[in-house]
Structures are given as structure tokens and as C-alpha cells.
Structure 1
Amino acid sequence: MRDADRHKGDANHAGRGVPPPAATAPALSRRMVFLTVFLPFALGHYLSQLMRMINATLAPDLTAALALTPGQLGLLTSAFFFAFALAQLPVGVALDRWGPALVQLPMLVIAALGTLAFAGGRDFAQLLVARAVIGFGVGGCFMAAVKALSTWITPARLPSVQGYLIAAGGLGAASATLPVRIALEHVDWRSLFIALASALMFTAVLIRLLAPPQAAVVQRQPLRAAMAEICRHPSFREAAQLVLVPHMVFFGIQGLWLGRWLGDVAGYSEDQVSWLLYVGMGAVIVGAIVVGMITEWAGKRGVRPVRVAAAGVALFIIVQAGFVCGWRPGYAVLAVLFTLVGTVTGIEYTMVAQGLPGRLTGRATTCLNLLIFLGAFAVQAGFGLVLDGWQPNLRGQYPAQAYQAGFALLIALQAPGLAWYGWRRWRRPAPSGRMDHHPATSTR
């Protein structure tokens, strides 16, 4: 870290009334940051995304082994999101108090124990509890990585490095598709979960041994007061009203029902479904990079991220309308477009980071994660309940009408946010050539 960057960071932290993390820690070379900070925490985020997505590939195996209904399968898979959401606030507070290296060790051990329990589960209830424990255990992987990187990397390089972190998560999600299907040709799903538990334990030890210590940051504002201020802030409310529900839909459908739709409605084999999900995860990586580039390009021309978000949400709803219409020649294209366009929902974090005061951005991100994953739980479980309204065929496949009803309901939930943004935009158009900031968003 250069001296100029260090002094700038010290000044920023002094203005917030908290000690700068870098002030108590020596600078690290780029190589050491890569080896001791980026790699171990990126591995944790990789595994968390793999565990999030793996049930989409295992759905046929789990259904056959336990005779699960769609409602049970949706609840089982979505338990990850519910527990993940519950972890957000306590983990966020713990990260500020003890630092990511100390927090990740017990959290990943919990995730490993949950994974072992899933491997040994013999009925729906046991698997449900185990899946929830996994979700809670990996609930801090992304936040811990962001916090560690923001401590040891200069502000100028942080956006690109965070992009690499998101790409690592995309690789984890991709690994849960075709590679898992290939692995299942040699081992059963229980043995696979034992191997994943070992990987989680290894990562926990790796982070604890390699990650440099980080000074604790004391938040002087009570958590409840901070959350109230965040929820009242115009930028947070704008992001939540427009993008929050689409983000819930993206996570909830991508993590399970997209694969089932490809098998039940499009008629693809399990291997073909795994391949298309794998391609879709590649689209997530590409989409995240492209959205970032477009947002940066638009910002230089005076266009706020919320306008990019509105265009992206509109496209995302159009793609879902394709599922409702049942355009059979384009089934594979629709599946990939869903993951490609759906990555625009990640722009929420940019909107919040640019709009809120710096002293609130960490807890605002935690608040977003809490809402997103609670919503993803509701979407994933609720979609299964919608499918339960129809009778499956002899192969356990549900009719296209069931999925069309599910996607139509999701569109109905997302459309009001986009319509509300459009109405406000029509009522108060932004001045030409200027960034239409809220008055409160310039306070950093």
C-alpha cells in the first residue's frame, strides 16, 4: 500500500470516528496479499457458492432417494438461504469485532459439520436441518473476503480485485453443475458431500494459518440505530424498491428450479441440463464483468447506476416472460439468458455503496444480504408449492402450465418496482447531462 493511499485511508477513518485498520498493520506486497488474503478467502467464497448451487444438480438424485415432492425439494434447498440470511447480522458484527480470519474458522467448521450431517441424512427432516446448518456456516464467506480485501488492498485496485472475487464465486457455482454431474458417475452424492466437508475444513485451517491479523473496528453507533438510518436513506430505499425482488428471484430460481424446468418442460436429459447450467454459470461471470463495465462507462457520462439497473430489470422480466410464453425453439437460450441478464441484480451493492455514507456501507451490505436471502428462501420454497398444484407424470415431471404459472407470479411480484421507478422518473425527469443524485447521497 502506498503512503498516499495509507494517509488517505487514515483520514477517512478518522472522519468516521473509528481507527483505520491499516494503521496497526504493516503493508504487504502484492504477492503476499494474493497468497495470504485473496486465495484463502476466495476459496471460501468458491465453496459457499458451490454449496448454494449443488442441489440444482442433485435434485433428481435427492428426489429418487427420498421420494421428495416439489414442495419438499424447494423447502430443502431454500433452507440454505434462510439460514444464510440469519447469519448476516451476527457475522457482520463479529467481523468488525474480531476480524475475518478469526470469524471464518468456526463458521467454516460449522459448515463442514452440516455437510457431514447432510451426507449421513436418512430422511427429509435430517437433510433439512443439515442444509440449514451449511447455509449458516458459509453465511460470512463473501463478507469476510470483502472485509479482508478492503483492509489490505489500495482503494484504486479494490473494484477489480472484488471482480475477481465474484468470478471465483461464479466458478464455484459452475463447479456445482457439470463437474458435479461427472463426479456422480464415479461416487454417490453422500460420498461427494464427505469430500466437500473435508474441503471446508481445509479452507478454515488455511484462512486461520495464512490470513494476516486485522485490527478490530469498533462501531460507535448502535446496530439498531444504524439499521434504521440505512432503511430510511433514499439510496437504499431506491435500490430495494427496484432491484431487491428481482435479486431474490434470480437466486431462488437459479439455485434449483431452472434445472428442473430444463428437465421437465424442455425435455433435456440430466447430462444436458448439467451442461446448460454449467454454461449459465459461465454467463454469470461474463455478465458480472459486463455490468460493471457498463455501469462505469455510464457513470462517466452522468448516468446513475439506478438507470442501468432499471434497464437491466426490464430485460430480466422480458426473459422471464419467455418462460411464460413457452418459446420451445429457444429453451436453451432462455436458460442462459436468465443467468446472464440476472447478474444485473448485483448492481444493488454499487447503488448502496455510492449512495450511502461510508460509515454505513458495511452494515448496509449486511442488511441487503439479509433481505435478499430471506426473499430467495421464500421464492424457492414458494415456487415448489405452486408446482404442487399440478399432478406430475409417471416420470415425476411437472407440466409446462405449472412452471408458466410460477413464472407469471414472479413477474407480477417484480413489475411494481419497475413501474414505480418509471412513474417517479416520469414525474421528476433528471436534468440533462447531470448526475441526478439524491441530496443525501453526496455525504461520504
Structure 2
Amino acid sequence: MRDGCRSEPPAPVVAPALSGRAVFVLVFLPFALGHFLSSLMRTVNATLAPQLVAALALTPGELGLLTSAFFLAFALAQLPVGIALDRWGPAKVQLPMLLLAGVGALAFAGGQTFAQLLVARALIGLGLGGCFMSAVKAISTWIAPARLPSVQGYLIAVGGLGAAAATLPVRLAMQYMDWRGLFLWLALAACLTGVLIRALPPPQPASARKPAMLAAMREVYCHHAFREVAALVLIPHTVFFGIQGLWIGRWLTDVARYSEEAVGYLLYLGMAAVIFGAIAVGMITEWAGKRGVRPISVAAVGVALFIAVQAGFLLDWRPSYQLLSVLFTLVGTVTGIEYTIVAQSLPGALTGRAATCLNLLIFVGAFVVQAGFGLVVGCWRPDGTGHYPALAYQVGFGALVLLQLPGLIWFVRRRRRNPVEWASHPAKLQ
């Protein structure tokens, strides 16, 4: 491989034989529950934003920073957790991580100042940093590579359920408790999920290789498939996470002027759309693969559609604000195809580190997008009712579109320049 990225082939990871039902009950369900909880806690601030703003008198910049602290801490956990997953297996790693998330949720429930909530939110992100990649590592060990797109689509759909649970169900729960009580229950759920993940899955074989952290990073980042998919999908994925988790709800409040009830309902529809979108992307990817279409081509079409949806926000497409808010999350689920492409292309012993390297980039980017978007909106003054102008959001979405276009243009030009060689020998074109 180029650029001094040579390495010895990793030792194969041999998984024990399990029936399909055993894989579903003992592997998929407990790890999917962890991903469900991670998605719920990642996006719950979008629903609780009015209460948090009222309790702490937050500006858009402070709200963005408070919510995005999850992403930064999540990103910091990726590399050490990824190497731990490949060494000891996801079940052993997840228990202490989810206990840490429980501590963070307890601290958030008791926090009285912006600084205290900021630290607590970061602890939650740190503790949940292994949920998705541990699930990817677990299912990639027991699931055949050809089935990975569909199964990972189901996993992302479960995350959609978690995000949907952070909308209307949370609003209903607020009729019986405040946001502090909610986080007490979330702390308990995190601890119980960790215990289930430790108790149910069978022992997973660990990799014989134990590389240093920098060597592990280099090995994954130098792989052609990783670099190819990151160039196209990485920035759209950061935009999807950063905007979906907070600013779609604020846009519906400030620009569309919907009530809290209407915003909660539209957020619920949008998060529910993630479920359909994730399953559809997995099925389409498998269908296209049987016809010789590479997953990266499916990703390119999805990214183009995702940018088109954001152009609707940029142009302030008034005919259907509701449709835009739902389409953003429906189409944005295509960005999750990154994990499938990498899991199919890299050796099994590297899948844990590959997922963490992706997560490192994605969640650092999501932190920048979510916090940066708030800073952009905060450049304008709110009106007498506390709403920020549509222009503030248009400038923010315009900047995001400009960031995503180069990767799509590069992909299209590269494919047109060498269509035959690109399809037959993608590794040569780097």
C-alpha cells in the first residue's frame, strides 16, 4: 500500500458457531439496547432545549456547546475503546463504560450550573462512546459479510428508535417528572444495560495482535477503503449528527414558528423516519451489490440527495417546512453506510479499531458542526419573542452545503475520469 502504510496481515479472528436465533438474542439484542440508549441520550437535549434554556438562560452558543460536549467526549473515547474492543471483546468493555455513563447521567440530574451540566454531559458522552462500535464489532464477528448491510441497517434502525424515544415519549414523561427526574431514570437504564451486555453474549475471541494506539490509527487510516469512504461521506455524517441532534428542533421553533407540541411531534416523525431509512439503505445496498454496484456508489447518490434537502433549508422552502424536517433525518441515514463499507473491506481483526477511527472523525466533526452552528445563529439578535431570524439559519445551512460539496464533486470527477479501472480496481486509485 502507498505512503508507507504497509503492515503485516492481522491474525484471523475465529468466531464460535452460533445459530441465527442465538445471535439475535444473545448478541444483537443486548448490544442494540446499548445503541438505543446512546441515541436517546445523544438527542434528548433537542426535546429538553426549552427547559434547559429557561433553567439556565442559555444563549444559542451555550446551548450548542452544552449539547455538543457529548460529541467531543464521545470522540475522545474512540481510539482507546476501539483497541480494547479488539483485545478483550465488547462485552467486557461495555460494562464499565455504561456504568460511567450512569454516573454522568446522575451528575446531570443534580447539576445546578452551566459548568456542572457541561461536565456531566461530557461524562455521558464518554461512557456511551463504545455503544455503537461495540455492536458493530460483535455482529461483524458472527454475521457473514454479505449480510452486514442489512444487519447494520437494523442496528441503525434501533438507534432511530432511541432517537424517536427522545422526542414525544420524553415530552409525555415530562408530564410526570422534570428533566432531572428523567436523567435519574436514564442513569439506571445505563447501568442495567451494561449488566445485560456483560451477562448475555458468549465470549468473543480477542485479536492476537496488540498494536500501540498510533500504529492502530495508522493501519486503519491508511486502508484505501477507509480513505475512500471518508472523503465522500464523513462531512455529511457529521452534519447529520450535529444538526439532527439539536438544531432541527430550534429551526422549527425559530423559523417555522411551531409550538413546542408541534415541534415534538415533527421531531418524533423525523426520528421515526430514521428507522425506515436505515432499513431501506441496508436493503438497497444489498440489492445493488448483487447487481455489481459498489456500496460507495449508493453512498454517493444518498449524499447528493442529502445535500439537496439542506438546500431546501438554505432557500427557505416555505411550501413544506414539515417535509424538510422529516426528509433531513430520512435521507441523512444513508451516511451510516460508512460502517458497512469499512466492515466489509477491512480484516475482521481491525473492525473494532476501524469503527472507532470513523467515530473519532465523525464525532469530532459533529461537535464542531453543532457548536459552530450555534455560534453562527448567535451572531443575530432574537426578536421580542426570543426567536432568531431565518437568515441566521440560512447562513448556517449555506456554510454546511459548501463544506459537503467538494467531496461529492471529487467522487464524481474521479469516477468519470477512470470509470472502468475505478470499478474493477478501486484500490489503485488513491
Q: Sort the TM-score into its range (normalised by shorter chain).
A: over 0.9
From 290, 296, 317, the equivalent of 2:286 is: 296
1:137 and 2:127 equivalent?
yes
Aligned with residue 331 of structure 2, among 341, 346, 349: 341
In structure 2, the CA distance between the partners of 1:440 and 1:92, relative to structure 1 (3 Å rule), is farther
Size of the alignment, in residue pairs?
Answer: 422
Aligned to 2:243: 253
Rounded Cα–Cα distance in structure 1 between residues aligned with 2:145 and 2:304: 32
Picking from 368, 375, 381, the partner of 2:371 is: 381
Q: Which residue of 1 aligns with 2:3?
A: none
Q: Compared with structure 1, are the counterparts of its residues 161 and 242 closer, same or farther at alpha carbon in structure 2 (3 Å cutoff)?
A: closer
CA contact (8 A) 1:235 1:351 kept: yes
Alignment partner of 1:65 out of 55, 59, 84: 55
Deviations 1:220-246 (A, max 9, x none): 554423422332333222211111000
**Alignment equivalent of 2:214, drawn from 199, 207, 224:** 224
CA contact (8 A) 2:151 2:282 kept: no
Match of residue 406 from structure 1: 396
User: Counterpart of 1:163?
Assistant: 153
Aligned pairs (5 A) from 1:58-207 = 58-153=48-143, 158-207=148-197
Distance in 1, matches of 2:82 and 2:213, equals 10
Q: How far apart are the structure 1 equivalents of 2:41 and 2:125? A: 8
Most deviating of 275-284 and 251-260: 275-284
The amino acid across from 1:99 in the alignment is G
396-405 vs 307-316, which moves further: 307-316
Deviation at 1:68, TM superposition (A): 0.3
Q: Tell me the distance in 2 between the aligned counterparts of 1:279 and 1:298.
A: 28
Which whole-Å CA distance do the structure 1 matches of 2:154 and 2:233 have between them? 23
Consecutive unaligned residues in structure 2, runs of 5 or more: 1-8
Q: Which residue of 2 aligns with 1:17?
A: 11
1:86-119 Cα deviation digits (max 9, x unpaired) = 1111111112222222211111110000001001
Equivalent residue letter for 2:243: I
Q: Secondary structure at the match of 2:129?
A: coil
Q: Provide the rounded CA distance (Å) in 1 between the counterparts of 2:26 and 2:219.
A: 36
Separation in 1, partners of 2:324, 2:36: 26
- Partner residue of 1:7? none
Is the 8 Å Cα contact of residues 10 and 209 (structure 2) preserved in structure 1?
no
- Structure 1 stretch displaced more, 422-431 or 246-255: 422-431
Structure 2 partner of 1:214: 204
Deviations along 1:253-278, one digit per CA (max 9) or x if unpaired, are 00000000011101111111111111
Indicate how the Cα distance of structure 1 residues 293 and 28 shifts in structure 2: closer, same or farther if over 3 A, else same.
closer
Cα 1:338–1:189, aligned 2, differ >3 Å: closer, same or farther? same
Q: Pick one of 277, 282, 293 that aligns with 2:272.
A: 282
Contact 1:302 1:435 survives alignment (8 Å): no
Deviation at 1:31, TM superposition (A): 4.1
Q: Percent identity?
A: 69
Could you give the per-residue CA deviations for residues 367-424 of structure 1, whole angstroms, max 9, x where no partner exists?
Answer: 1111000000000000000011000122221110000010001111111111222222
Per-residue displacement from partner, 1:124-180 (whole Å, max 9, x unpaired)? Answer: 100000000000101111122222333445556554433332221111010001110
Partner of 1:10: none
> Which amino acid in the other structure matches residue 175 of structure 1?
A
Equivalents in 2 of 1:50, 1:168: separation in Å? Answer: 10
Work out whether 1:50 is the aligned partner of 2:40: yes
Query: Cα 1:324–1:40, aligned 2, differ >3 Å: closer, same or farther?
Result: same
Asked if 1:437 is matched to 2:415, the reply is no
The Cα shift of 1:295 comes to 1.9
CA contact (8 A) 2:78 2:360 kept: yes
Cα distance change on mapping 1:159 and 1:240 into 2, 3 Å: closer
Deviates more, 1:349-358 or 1:76-85: 349-358
Question: Using a 3 Å threshold, how does the CA distance of structure 1 residues 209 and 355 change in structure 2: closer, same or farther?
Answer: closer
Greater Cα shift, 111-120 or 162-171: 162-171
- One-letter code aligned to 2:333: T
Alpha carbons of 1:352 and 1:102: their partners in 2 closer, same or farther (altered >3 Å)? closer
Kindly indicate whether structure 1 or structure 2 has the higher relative contact order, using CA contacts under 8 Å at least 6 residues apart. 2
Distance 2:225 2:204 in 1: 30
- Quote the offset at 1:430 in angstroms: 3.1
Distance, in Å, in 2 between the alignment partners of 1:356 and 1:102 is 23
Shift in Å, 1:346: 1.2
Q: Could you say what the CA RMSD is over the residues aligned between the two structures, in angstroms?
A: 2.1
The alignment partner of 2:235 has SS state of helix
| Cα distance, 1:51–1:153 mapped onto 2, change above 3 Å | same
In 2, Cα distance between the equivalents of 1:324 and 1:122?
A: 37
In the alignment, is residue 38 of structure 1 matched against residue 28 of structure 2? yes
Whichever residue aligns with residue 11 of structure 2, its letter is G
Q: Which runs of 5+ in 1 are unaligned?
A: 1-14
SS of 1:430's equivalent in the other structure is helix
Pair 167,440 (structure 1): closer, same or farther in 2 beyond 3 Å: same
Distance 1:359 1:30, change over 3 A: closer
Instruction: State the AA in 2 paired with 1:403.
Output: Y
TM, length-normalised to structure 2: 0.92
Distance 1:151 1:233 in 2: 20
TM-aligned CA deviation for residue 62 of structure 1: 0.3
Whole-angstrom CA distance in 2 between matches of 1:204 and 1:102: 9
Distance in 1, Cα, partners of 2:76 & 2:85? 15
Task: Tell me, in whole angstroms, the C-alpha distance in 2 between the residues paired with 1:76 and 1:419.
Answer: 34
